[in-house]
């Protein structure tokens, strides 16, 4: 099966170009002018942008969080994603009490293969570190896994790591050529803040029990650990302008990267103070309008290596049933179906960037940070033929963070992005904003063990 895409504006690694792209099987096999291919099906892309498939580097799907099942499986979550031009999701595998990490990777892969509409990679969270666990970790790295994730909080969920244990983990992992993702909120500061709160029934108290200084302090400590151990650290879902500037200063010396999520750029804590504020509970929490405005400026100025959603969708009934005490409300909001349209609106429409900005921060950079580049995240010969063909000036369509029964944080928003074709490894999976075959998901787990 081969397809020749002609006449489009193709977003290559060094910028847009008017070239043809030839797909054969699952890969891109030629890029150039006037390619001769008598057997290929020709797809005219005049007037369309041809981008490498987008990547959401941070999603939670098909899992239990705090004992509550997530609203999205990889099947439903990937459907919302793929319709917007996302061809790779990166989820999480956390080592369970009863399994080795590689057994848990195997279980997670089964939730993806023939279930997901796009490809899926995993960030790994080992929870035990005996020598045989390290043997398992090194095996997984040999098989292609390149990212690990740790938390400076969430004691109750068994995820917390002290800075001392993180120092040991950083030192050992730094010798293995991997990137270490860290959720930065300082546990001591969270506990001190919580001790001052007497009324947990209003959603705004969630923001008070997880204050900005908890994030900033944890970021400072993690940067110091990364510099001391020569580890490559990546700070996930940065929510504060001060934390972002701290990372920017460290990034000059190299090694530290970061992401933020659209909700920290577009929403603020007025939503938590209003009725039904529990619908917007996530961690870190939404911040003040002043912080949000600074975050938007930082995003437009290129402070974030990538944008990722931290998609963590709960059913409306699960959010509502626990809404009277912020300590019990499941933490997380949906986002995966809105990443591409919201970042297009913010960066391209509002701040005048071109689609190249989306290519860099939603495709190339996440692929590089996840160790997937140049298989993903680029249009070049040999890469997977993951492509999205779109127009920026379609008629407005409603966007949806999730297709499940969730409280959508962006309800009512629209996009003019018109997603004409999405190819996943050479096969067209979206045609004119619809799945081509809703009964046969073709995605796969990127590292099968």
- Per CB under 5 A, the segment of 83-91, 125-133, 308-316, 336-344 that binds Zn ion is 308-316
Smallest gap, in angstroms, from Cβ of residue 63 to Zn ion?
A: 11
Q: Which helix (H) or strand (E) holds 205?
A: helix 204-209
Which structure tokens are listed for 282? 């996530």
Smallest gap, in angstroms, from Cβ of residue 433 to Zn ion?
A: 28
Smallest gap, in angstroms, from Cβ of residue 162 to Zn ion?
A: 20
Residue 12 or 159: the one with the smaller Cβ distance to Zn ion is 159
- Per CB under 5 A, the segment of 132-140, 246-254, 265-273, 310-318 that binds Zn ion is 310-318
Smallest gap, in angstroms, from Cβ of residue 108 to Zn ion?
A: 15
Q: Which helix (H) or strand (E) holds 217?
A: helix 212-229
Q: Give percent helix, percent strand, percent coil of the chain, each to the nearest 5.
A: 35, 25, 45
Which structure tokens are listed for 29? 């096999």
CA dist 8 and 383 (Å) reads 18
CA dist 127 and 138 (Å) reads 15
Residue 186 or 310: the one with the smaller Cβ distance to Zn ion is 310
CA dist 323 and 325 (Å) reads 6
Size of the site for Zn ion (CB under 5 A): 1
DSSP 91-137: EEEE--TTS-HHHHHHHHHHTTTTT-SSEEEEEEE----SHHHHHHH
Which residues are within 8 A (CB) of 90 and not within 5 positions of it... i.e. 6 or more apart? 55, 56, 57, 58, 59, 120, 121, 122, 123, 147, 366, 370
Residue 153 or 268: the one with the smaller Cβ distance to Zn ion is 153
- Per CB under 5 A, the segment of 18-26, 251-259, 305-313, 315-323 that binds Zn ion is 305-313
**Residue 259 binds Zn ion, judged by CB under 5 A:** no
**Residue 104 binds Zn ion, judged by CB under 5 A:** no
Residue 6 or 76: the one with the smaller Cβ distance to Zn ion is 76
Smallest gap, in angstroms, from Cβ of residue 193 to Zn ion?
A: 21
Are residues 74 and 62 in contact, defined by beta-carbon separation less than 8 angstroms? yes
Q: Closest by alpha carbon to 441, among 59, 1, 74, 2?
A: 74
**Count of alpha carbons within 13 angstroms of residue 165, beta-carbon side:** 12
Residue nearest to Zn ion (CB): 310
Residue 243 or 426: the one with the smaller Cβ distance to Zn ion is 243
- Per CB under 5 A, the segment of 196-204, 283-291, 306-314, 421-429 that binds Zn ion is 306-314
Smallest gap, in angstroms, from Cβ of residue 157 to Zn ion?
A: 12
**Residue 310 binds Zn ion, judged by CB under 5 A:** yes
Q: What are phi and psi of 25, to 5 degrees?
A: 60, -130
Residue 115 or 309: the one with the smaller Cβ distance to Zn ion is 309
Smallest gap, in angstroms, from Cβ of residue 312 to Zn ion?
A: 6
- Per CB under 5 A, the segment of 13-21, 63-71, 161-169, 307-315 that binds Zn ion is 307-315
Are residues 89 and 61 in contact, defined by beta-carbon separation less than 8 angstroms? yes
Residue 284 or 371: the one with the smaller Cβ distance to Zn ion is 284
Smallest gap, in angstroms, from Cβ of residue 310 to Zn ion?
A: 4
- Residues within the interface to Zn ion (CB under 5 A): 310
């Amino acid at each position: 099966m081969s397809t020749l895409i002609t006449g489009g504006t193709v977003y290559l690694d060094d910028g847009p170009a008017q070239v043809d792209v030839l797909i054969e099987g699952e890969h891109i096999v030629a890029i150039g002018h006037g390619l001769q291919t008598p057997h290929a099906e020709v797809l005219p892309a005049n007037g369309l942008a041809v981008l490498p498939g987008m990547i959401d580097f941070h999603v939670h799907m098909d899992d239990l969080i705090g004992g509550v099942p997530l609203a999205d499986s990889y099947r439903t979550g990937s459907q919302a994603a793929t319709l917007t031009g996302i061809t790779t999701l990166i989820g999480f595998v956390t080592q369970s009490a009863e399994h080795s990490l590689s057994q848990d990777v195997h279980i997670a892969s089964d939730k993806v293969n023939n279930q997901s509409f796009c490809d899926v990679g995993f960030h790994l969270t080992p929870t035990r570190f005996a020598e045989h666990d390290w043997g398992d970790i090194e095996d997984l790295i040999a098989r292609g896994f390149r990212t690990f994730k740790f938390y400076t909080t969430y004691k109750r969920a068994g995820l917390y790591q002290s800075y001392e244990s993180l120092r040991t983990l950083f030192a050992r992992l730094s010798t293995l050529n991997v990137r270490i993702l860290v959720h930065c909120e300082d546990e001591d500061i969270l506990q001190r803040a919580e001790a001052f709160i007497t009324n947990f029934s209003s959603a705004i108290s969630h923001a008070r029990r997880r204050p900005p200084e908890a994030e900033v302090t944890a970021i400072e400590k993690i940067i110091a650990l990364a510099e001391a151990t020569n580890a490559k650290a990546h700070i996930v879902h940065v929510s504060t302008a001060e934390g972002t500037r701290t990372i920017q200063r460290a990034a000059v010396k190299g090694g530290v990267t970061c992401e933020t999520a659209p909700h920290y750029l577009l929403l603020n804590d007025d939503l938590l103070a209003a009725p039904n504020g529990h619908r917007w509970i996530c961690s870190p929490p939404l911040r003040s309008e002043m912080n949000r405005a600074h975050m938007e400026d930082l995003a437009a100025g290129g402070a974030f290596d990538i944008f990722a959603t931290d998609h963590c969708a709960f059913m409306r009934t699960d959010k509502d049933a626990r809404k009277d005490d912020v300590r019990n409300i499941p933490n997380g909001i949906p986002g995966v179906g809105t990443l591409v349209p919201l970042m297009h609106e913010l960066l391209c429409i509002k701040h005048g960037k071109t689609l190249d900005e989306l290519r860099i921060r939603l495709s190339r950079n996440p692929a590089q940070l996840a160790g997937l580049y140049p298989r993903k995240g680029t249009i070049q010969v040999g890469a997977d033929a993951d492509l999205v063909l779109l127009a920026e000036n379609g008629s407005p369509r409603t966007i949806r963070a999730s297709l499940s029964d969730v409280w959508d944080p962006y309800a009512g928003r629209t996009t003019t992005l018109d997603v004409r074709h999405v190819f996943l490894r050479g096969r067209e999976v979206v045609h004119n904003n619809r799945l081509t075959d809703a009964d046969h998901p073709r995605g796969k787990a990127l590292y099968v063990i």
